[in-house]
Amino acid sequence: MCRVICLFLLLLPSLSKAEDGSRLWLRGKTDYHAIVSSNRKSPVIDVAVQELQTQWAGGKVQLVVSSGKAFENLGKDGFMIVGNKDSGVTIQALTEHGVLYGAYHLLRLQQTGAISGELNITETPKYAIRMLNHWDNLNGSIERGYAGRSLWKWEQLPDTISPRYKEYARANASVGINGTVLNNVNASPNILKDDYLRKVKILADIFRPYGVKVYLSVNFSTPSVLGGLADSDPLSPAVLQWWKDKVKEIYQLIPDFGGFLVKANSEGQPGPHDYGRTHAEGANMLATALKPYHGIVIWRAFVYAPNSDDRAKQAYHEFVPLDGKFMDNVIIQVKNGPVDFQPREPFTPLFGAMRKTPLMVEFQITQEYLGFSNHLAYLAPLFKECLDSDTYCNGAGSTVAKLTDGTLTPNPLTAIAGVANTGEDTNWTGHHFAQANWYCFGRLAWNHSLTSEQIADEWIRMTFTPDESFVKPVKEMMLTSRETVVDYMMPLGLHHIFAEGHHYGPQPWHEKASREDWTARYYHKADASGIGFDRTTSGSNAVSQYFPPLNETFNSLSACPENLLLWFHHVSWNHKMKNGRSLWDELCYKYDAGVQQVREYQKMWDRMEKYTDAERFQHVQSRLKIQSRDAVWWKDACLLYFQTFSNQPIPYNIERPVHELDDLKQIRLNLRNTN
Ligand code: GCU
């Protein structure tokens, strides 16, 4: 008897193996000995072979890199998988990268229990470049990073190599991400110093076998700040020469370097306007330097000046006149919404308005405006809402996705970017469920027609368990979670009423800043008559930047979708909503619904205890408590403050405020934002 118990105790640690989230969704068994052969040998193929040998539980696998018509259609990264799990599988592709993505696809099918019968799969990615943007600073902090400090240990490189560099590349490759911008868009010129470039080279070398190319954010003033030139005027031959020399130096170290990402003349960053030049002149100068090496320039359209023009309109004004003026190795990176990664925004009207220039979407995976790594918000529905938005630029069906993936515009470049949520936390992303946002970004970048549900389903099975008793309710929670955050933070089209600076909690009363558009009042404009930003033809006229019939839809109080109502209209408190309630009542019910929904998530998660490991269970449980408290804080702050204008009672059948407005106004947070 004792022997049995002792044996049991010995076995116990391995049965209840610690689950700290470090393995992400890559939790398949790794002790198989599959037979894998290949017609090509290379570092990329070696990765594919090794992954399959250790994780594939079926018959032999053949990896084939082939040329020929059938394969050309697969493009650079596509693949075909044919065969049968037991008798053998062949992964074929035009390139070794295609084979690698095929290997990860096959393993995902196995891990999600989706392999049955004969396999006959063809996959090609929708975007050629699928990249993460890291807002990591050279001092190890991360702008808007909520999972600890930077993964890149600049002070230790190039000599000491963290094992996480390889794990990072592997995780990206497993979801098809093939590019990474290592440093913050608010870029330090120092990243282009020789010693930093040697560190960057090491990272590029580690990422290369996983197909992940390195890009850098550059500061437009680098020639003058670092190179000692008199200025950084893009039309100065000396400046162009400086960039040409620098680019040559980079390519000598990193022959497959991807290119530069540039934030110029935005939020105090230098740029071509400093010299009276246009964005196109600035971008083309860098593109000229990169062109001989097939490097690209990713030029951001996130610009707004401290003037009285509606911030949501400004990128359009600056960029549309430049359409067609950019070199063919320039792509314009546009945030999904016209203001700034809000819980809900309409799509940016630049999509559809610049047909002669490649445009790419920039999403924010890190939850700057969705509760950091404290709140559970699954972002696939937000990403898809933008990608599936119909711009009507070419009649119905001209979605943002089709405009950016090359379907509706023969773009030489197609790309998509997500601002990364990774850091040195053991679980990579702070909240275990925030891993799903990295994962879903990669999956949508590969195939934007996947549904949010399909992706959540895959992720849950791989990351937690395939047990339906867990998958079903957890998926339901994930799928509703973004809308829940919208409800308790900014329902009905409200936006940017965050606390100044850190953007975590509510501060709708914020009305004094160095710029009006850095206050919350600028965005909600609540007064005795109502609430909302009038962007109709009688207001800022931002609606006119959209194509018909959208401009008319948004312009009309009755036709405007209610989830964007206060984005486009200043609406009377007594306005009758479609469900018959007044606007004020509806606002109250929405805030309350958000709070109640988080409470439901708590109850549901507690029921999941028996299906998951203690470590992740408790971690998520404790974050849900924070989210629940924060939701009440948001609701009370917003309703009590807006009530000072509406002068109406909070409907009596919803939960009463538990805070005093004056107390809420005193809250000063010391947040875990490494910035
Ligand atoms: C937001 C964010 C900044 C960031 C900027 C950008 O404004 O708060 O931290 O630098 O976006 O995207 O450039």
pLDDT in tens, 17-50: 579 999 999 999 999 999 999 999 999 999 999 9
Residue 671: the pLDDT is 66
Catalytic residue (one of 96, 368, 517, 534): 368
Atom of ligand 1 nearest to the CA of 675: 9
Q: Two tokens at 483?
A: 């809308």
How far is the centre of ligand 1, averaged over its atoms, from the C-alpha of 528 (Å)? 32
**Ligand 1 pocket residue status of 369, Cβ below 6 Å:** no
Instruction: State how far the Cα of 139 lies from the Cα of 154, in Å rounded to an integer.
Output: 8
Q: Are 181 and 217 in contact (CB under 8 A)?
A: yes
- Residue 341 CA to ligand 1 center (angstroms) comes to 9
Nearest atom in ligand 1 to the alpha carbon of residue 263 is 13
Residue whose CB lies within 8 A of the most ligand 1 atoms, among 186, 220, 267, for a mutation test: 267
Q: How far is the CA of 375 from the centre of ligand 1 (A)?
A: 20
Please say if 424 is a catalytic residue: no
Mean pLDDT of 377-389: 99
Compute, in angstroms, the gap from residue 133 CA to the centroid of ligand 1: 12
Number of Cβ within a 10 Å radius of residue 451: 13
Q: What is the pairing mode between strands 571-572 and 530-531?
A: antiparallel
- Residue to substitute in 302, 304, 372, 419 for testing ligand 1 pocket (most ligand atoms within 8 angstroms of CB): 302
What is the residue whose two structure tokens read 């790594």?
373
Res 51 pLDDT > 90:
yes
Q: Is the pLDDT assigned to residue 2 strictly greater than 80?
A: no
Q: Which of 72, 109, 107 is nearest to 93 (CA)?
A: 72
pTM across the whole model: 0.97
| CB 571, CB 565: distance < 8 Å | yes
Q: How far is CA 483 from the centre of its chain?
A: 17
Beta-strand pair 359-364/415-419: parallel
- What is the model's pLDDT at position 8? 39
The residue with tokens 């790794």 is 30
User: Hey, whose CA ends up nearest to atom 13 of ligand 1?
Assistant: 185
How high is the pLDDT of residue 3? 42
For residue 525, is pLDDT > 70? yes
Q: Tell me which DSSP letter residue 655 carries.
A: P
Give me the catalytic one of 155, 256, 267, 660: 267
Angle (CA) 652 653 656, round 5°: 65
202, pLDDT greater than 90: yes
Least confident of 109-113, 171-175, 189-193, 410-414: 410-414
Q: Is 645 exposed, middle or buried (0-12, 13-18, 19+ CB in 10 A)?
A: middle
pLDDT at residue 229, rounded to an integer: 98
Q: Give the model's pLDDT for residue 7.
A: 40
142 lines ligand 1 (CB under 6 A): no
Instruction: Tell me what the mean pLDDT of segment 445-469 comes to.
Output: 98
Amino acid type, 575: H
CB under 8 Å to 385, separation ≥6 — which residues? 344
Contacts of 169 (CB under 8 A, 6+ apart): 206, 207, 209, 210, 212
Beta carbon of 675 within 6 Å of any ligand 1 atom: no
Annotation says 615 is catalytic: no
Average pLDDT over residues 571-578: 98
Supply the mean pLDDT for the chain. 95
Q: Amino acid identity, residue 336?
A: N
C-alpha to C-alpha distance for 591 and 439, rounded to whole angstroms: 29
State if residue 186 touches ligand 1 by the CB under 6 angstroms criterion: yes
Higher pLDDT, 307 or 121: 121
The whole-number pLDDT of residue 410 equals: 79
Pairing assessment for the beta strands 88-93 and 79-84 based on DSSP bridges: antiparallel
Pick the residue with more confidence: 287 or 1?
287
Ligand 1 mean position to 639 CA, how many Å? 28
Cα(620) to centroid(ligand 1), Å: 28
Alpha carbon 397 to chain centroid, angstroms: 24
According to the model, what pLDDT value does residue 17 have? 59
pLDDT tens, 486-516? Answer: 999 999 999 999 998 899 999 999 999 988 9
The backbone torsions φ and ψ at residue 91, rounded to the nearest 5 degrees and listed phi first, read -110, 120
Is residue 348 pLDDT above 80, yes or no?
yes
CA dihedral (76, 77, 80, 85) positive or negative: positive
Name the residue among 486, 526, 508, 484 with its Cα closest to residue 667. Answer: 508
The verdict on whether 46 is a catalytic residue reads no
What does the pLDDT read at residue 68? 84
pLDDT for 493:
98
Q: Which among 314, 305, 300, 304 is positioned nearest to 184, based on CA atoms?
A: 300
Residue nearest to atom 10 of ligand 1 (CA): 186
Tell me how far the alpha carbon of residue 266 lies from the centroid of ligand 1, in angstroms: 9
pLDDT number for residue 58: 96
Is residue 185 within 6 Å of ligand 1 at its C-beta? yes
- Are 486 and 344 in contact by the 8 Å Cβ rule? The answer is yes
